[in-house]
Amino acid sequence: MNNPWKDINLSDYESHMALDSVRQLQAMNQMMQGQLNKYDIKSVMILGIAGGNGLEHVDATKITKVYGVDINAEYLATTKERYKMLSGILECLCVDLNSETEKLPQANLLIANLLIEYIGYECFQKVVKIVNPQYVSCVIQINTDESFVSDSPYLHAFDGLKCFHHQMEEQELQNSMERIGYQLIQTLEYSLPNGKKLVQLDFGK
């Protein structure tokens, strides 16, 4: 089965995420600023980078390498075009995390925002073990209803995701990370206007 993220238009995705009734694009940008600047690291890998939201917060005087990973090559092309100022630092990698984890390099910090939902805990464990970061920062979405995609004019662009989506639980993510040697450092919560919330969990080894 073809991964639906290969077929979702970036404009539809970003327009949906930025709606006042959703505001996830704005929240994720703020969270990325904190993720990129909290730890003393030289390299970072961002899984599911899409259009590069938050890359403007990379401090090039401290971070010398950014790996942007996504399954959609068009997303990555847009990211490279948007963030030309990170030329020589940003390297975009088109990788299917379900089947091509061996292509991933190592990095000091691994960021996975709204990504584990689409690969599951076990696959994420494999990714972490290969990247071997000192720190892992994840953002998961906690839903207050049965719908993991908020209602919007762009809703049907995401219909194909239903069969790929895994409902996330904070404790289960923490348990899965502990099983591979990572301990919870901090938890942050961000409320969204539609009753959902984003939860950031940071781990260290």
The pLDDT tens digits of the residues spanning 154-177 come to: 344 455 555 555 677 899 999 999
Give the model's confidence band at 99: pLDDT under 50 very low, under 70 low, under 90 confident, else very high. Answer: very high
Tens of pLDDT, residue by residue over 109-132, are: 999 999 999 899 999 999 999 999
Give me Rg for the CA atoms of the chain. 16
Q: Give buried/exposed letters for 161-181 (b at 16+ CB in 10 A, else e).
A: beeeebebeeeebbebbeeee
* Residue 14 pLDDT > 80: no
Helix (H, G, I), strand (E, B) or coil at 23: coil
What are residue 91's DSSP bridge partners?
67
Q: Could you tell me which residue, 144 or 176, shows the higher pLDDT?
A: 176
* Residue 150 pLDDT > 70: no
Tens of pLDDT, residue by residue over 20-56, are: 656 777 888 899 999 999 999 999 999 999 999 999 9
Per cent of the chain over pLDDT 70 is 81
Q: How far apart are CA 201 and CA 138, in angstroms?
A: 5
The DSSP element (H or E) to which 90 belongs, if any, is strand 90-94
Helix (H, G, I), strand (E, B) or coil at 175: helix
Q: In what order do the strands lie in the sheet with 65-70?
A: 90-94, 65-70, 43-47, 109-113, 135-142, 197-204, 183-191
pLDDT for position 154: 39
Q: Could you tell me which residue, 168 or 80, shows the higher pLDDT?
A: 80
pLDDT for position 152: 45
Among 62-66, 134-138, 143-147, 176-180, whose mean pLDDT is lowest?
Answer: 143-147
| Tokens coding 166 | 């895994």
Nearest CA-CA partner of 93 in 145, 53, 48: 48
CA distances (Å), 60 to each of 37, 65, 76, 168, in order? 11, 9, 20, 33
For residue 9, the 8-state DSSP code is -
Q: How far apart are CA 190 and CA 24, in angstroms?
A: 10
- Average pLDDT (179-187) is 97
Q: Could you tell me which residue, 152 or 65, shows the higher pLDDT?
A: 65
| Phi and psi based region of residue 93 (left: phi greater than 0; alpha: psi -120 to 50; beta: remaining) | beta
